[in-house]
Amino acid sequence: MVDQNRRRVVITGVGVVTPLGIGVEKTWESLVAGKSGITNITRFDASDYACQIAGEVKDFNPGDYIDKKEIKKMDTFIHYAVAASQEAVDDAELKITPDNADRVGVYIGAGIGGLPAIEHYHEVLKEKGPSRVSPFFIPMVIINLASGQVAIRFGAQGPNSCAVTACATGNHCLGDAFRIIQRGEADVMLAGGAESTISPLALAGFAAAKALSRRNDDPQRASRPFDRERDGFVIGEGAGVLVLEELEHAQRRGVRIYGELAGYAMTSDAYHITAPPDDGAGAVKCMEKAIVDAGVDKSDIGYINAHATSTFADKIETQVIKTVFGTHAYQVPVSSTKSMTGHLLGAAGGIEAVFTTLALHHGMLPPTINLEHSDPECDLDYIPAKPRPVAIKAAISNAFGFGGVNACLVMKQL
């Protein structure tokens, strides 16, 4: 049973940095147009790597968001977190003052954090010695400094933390922030995920695990969730941050409300370090619990933003949706926006929560691109190629990660 007296949480601001563009407007425009942000890697020479493609963020200037003297204190994932947070705060018309600062918190995580800086300063240490390692090295790379730097920037003195749960990070951060507001410990939370690990070591590691696509000659068609010829995910980078706010607090401010974050659940597979069980039992329980928590009927769910990464596990998520919805699964539109952005790891849940929120708000469901070859084990309505204008009551955003972690969010119309 849903506690009818618990505080309700709404979404009043959104911000993103993605391979499709800087900011929500450009990213959403590209998303609904079915454009891909996947290209050959330019960050370093990847010619010797099995995978040579990624969803890089292009044309990002941290100086547009951060004072020059502060930039060097942060690795790139923190730059992205600050930029996405700034857009979300501006979008929500949120003013943080000494009078309300202790009622505003931050909950932004990452799956890996400052790996590029670790790689860089390891080389500095080897080549030039310990005296040349930056005094800012540690705060550059530790994951909670995304939340820490955002809190410092805006003077948010309420709850400040982060989740570090691989590819479920963004959803866990949003869900935990949602609970903080429900419990009355804050009125507003900036929450989401950030990641920037398109680096030699990350690429080598994921490739060694045979997790990455090797469609190097055709980058824009490499990420192909649910397609029979999918051969692995494409790593991406960026950040997605939402302003979550207690309903009456938002109404008193008179700001636009995109929708309500109504349900959240998390479960564990307790099965394998990287692979889900064939029946997806943990994910099934997670979706079921989130729907119950939201207090909606399954028939109210009009869209699912799938975790689907363009790997073998897409068929398991398909089976999970069938188990949860039964025959109704064939009437629920599903898409994987990773077909356009690649997989942003710890940032995936954040940006996909933004996409799900915008789909609900605009009545426009983003497509799954590159779905060209039917897979008999992936036979749901994946909104192929083109967006679909449909007014919906509620939507789900799924996120599943290494370690068997599952996190599901349910958004609904207010």
- With residue 388 as reference, give the H or E element that holds it: strand 388-389
At residue 38, the pLDDT reads 98
Burial zone of 42 (CB within 10 Å; 0-12 exposed, 13-18 middle, 19+ buried): exposed
Q: Which two tokens stand for residue 45?
A: 């020479």
Closest residue by Cα to residue 222 from 398, 59, 26, 52: 52
At residue 243, the pLDDT reads 99
DSSP one-letter string for 40-64: E--SS--TTSS--EEB---S--GGG
pLDDT tens, residue order, the chain (414 aa): 556 679 999 999 999 999 999 999 999 999 999 999 999 999 999 999 999 999 999 999 999 999 999 999 999 999 999 999 999 999 999 999 999 999 999 999 999 999 999 999 999 999 999 999 999 999 999 999 999 999 999 999 999 999 999 999 999 999 999 999 999 999 999 999 999 999 999 999 999 999 999 999 999 999 999 999 999 999 999 999 999 999 999 999 999 999 999 999 999 999 999 999 999 999 999 999 999 999 999 999 999 999 999 999 999 999 999 999 999 999 999 999 999 999 999 999 999 999 999 999 999 999 999 999 999 999 999 999 999 999 999 999 999 999 999 999 999 999
Return d(Cα 36, Cα 221) in angstroms, integer.
Answer: 8
Alpha helix (H) ranges present in 295-347? 314-325, 338-341
Cβ contact 142:377 at 8 Å: no
Return d(Cα 291, Cα 286) in angstroms, integer.
Answer: 9
Return d(Cα 325, Cα 110) in angstroms, integer.
Answer: 31
At residue 353, the pLDDT reads 98
Dihedral class, residue 302 (left if φ above 0, else alpha if ψ from -120 to 50, else beta) = alpha
Closest residue by Cα to residue 103 from 178, 146, 182, 156: 156
Q: Which domains does the chain have, with CATH numbers?
A: 9-253 (3.40.47.10), 264-412 (3.40.47.10)
Residue 394, beta-bridge partner list: 301, 412
Question: Which of 79, 120, 172, 307 is flagged as catalytic?
Answer: 307
DSSP one-letter string for 239-266: EEEEEEEEHHHHHHHT----EEEEEEEE
At residue 3, the pLDDT reads 66
At residue 5, the pLDDT reads 79
Cβ contact 381:261 at 8 Å: no
pTM (2 d.p.): 0.97
Question: Which of 172, 286, 343, 378 is flagged as catalytic?
Answer: 343
Question: Which of 167, 286, 378, 408 is flagged as catalytic?
Answer: 167
At residue 302, the pLDDT reads 98
Active site (annotated) includes residue 167: yes
Return d(Cα 95, Cα 99) in angstroms, integer.
Answer: 10
Q: What one-letter code names the amino acid at 184?
A: G
Closest residue by Cα to residue 76 from 338, 344, 307: 344
Number of CB atoms found within 10 A of residue 211's CB: 17
Return d(Cα 264, Cα 278) in angstroms, integer.
Answer: 23
